[in-house]
Structure formats: C-alpha cells, structure tokens
Amino acid sequence: MTAKILYEGKLRCSCEHLQSGSVIETDAPTDNRGKGERFSPTDTVCVALGTCIITTMGIRAADMDIDLAGTRIEVTKFMLSDPRRIGKIEVNLSLKAMPVPDTHTREILQKIGDTCPVKRSLHPDLETQITYHWEF
C-alpha cells in the first residue's frame, strides 16, 4: 500500500504517505462546491506532472554531475466542463544548472522530462505543454 486517504467530510481529504508519514490535504475547488483552501485533486495531478518532470531530470542530471537545484516550475491547469476534467496542463520550467550544460546535454535532459512516468500515464486526450527555459 502506498497511501491512506481519509475523507474528512465537506469535500476534504487527508492523505498520508505510508513510507514517510507525510500528509497532504485536498479540498474541492470553489467552482465545484469547495472552499478552495487546499490543493484540489486535479491540482495534485498537475503538481505531480511538474514534480515528476524535474525529479526524473534531476536523477539523470546527477548521473552527469549536474545540479538542477534552484529550478522553478510554474504549472497552470485548464479545466473543461463537459465532461468536467483537466483539458490542458502547461508546465514552464526555469532551469538552473551547475555546471552549465551544453546544448546536447540540455536536449537529453528535456527528452527525459518530456517522457517522465506521470506524463506517460496521462490520457492522450489531455493536452500538455512543457516549456524549458535555461537560465545561466
């Protein structure tokens, strides 16, 4: 088992990661009867994509003796209404890297980000736009 989820009522959940004991909470968004005081379930899907991209890139970068610490990621979710679902996720990465990777190495790392496990797990109808900005 990976996690335990407790439905607390009022459209809120508490999710415990069993290996670490860390907890995240979710709330329904304000446009779907919630208070919007925490990540919504669909927000967590978008965050999962962004964190998976940088985590898999970070693994490969470490193998290449490159540090991606300080990278910032902005994730934007676009919902559709009929049926209600995520229609598009935009992920914009502002990448810091030390030492500065050459063009070929950046292409390798970006391909890894584009094919991370979460991206491969999303339905093909879900549009994803991933943009890499290398800052030196």
Give the model confidence (pLDDT) of 110-119 as tens digits: 999 999 999 9
Find the mean pLDDT for residues 121-133. Answer: 97
Record the tokens describing residue 33, joined without a space. Answer: 């009867």
Buried b or exposed e, range 31-66, using 16+ CB within 10 angstroms: eeebeeebbbebbebbbbbbebbbebbbebbeeeeb
pLDDT tops 90 at residue 122: yes
Q: So where are the chain's domains?
A: 1-39, 40-135
Residue ranges in the chain assigned as alpha helix (H):
41-63, 103-114, 117-121
pTM of the shown model: 0.95
Given CATH 3.30.300.20, say whether it is the number of domain 40-135.
yes
Cα distance between residue 96 and residue 94, in whole Å: 7
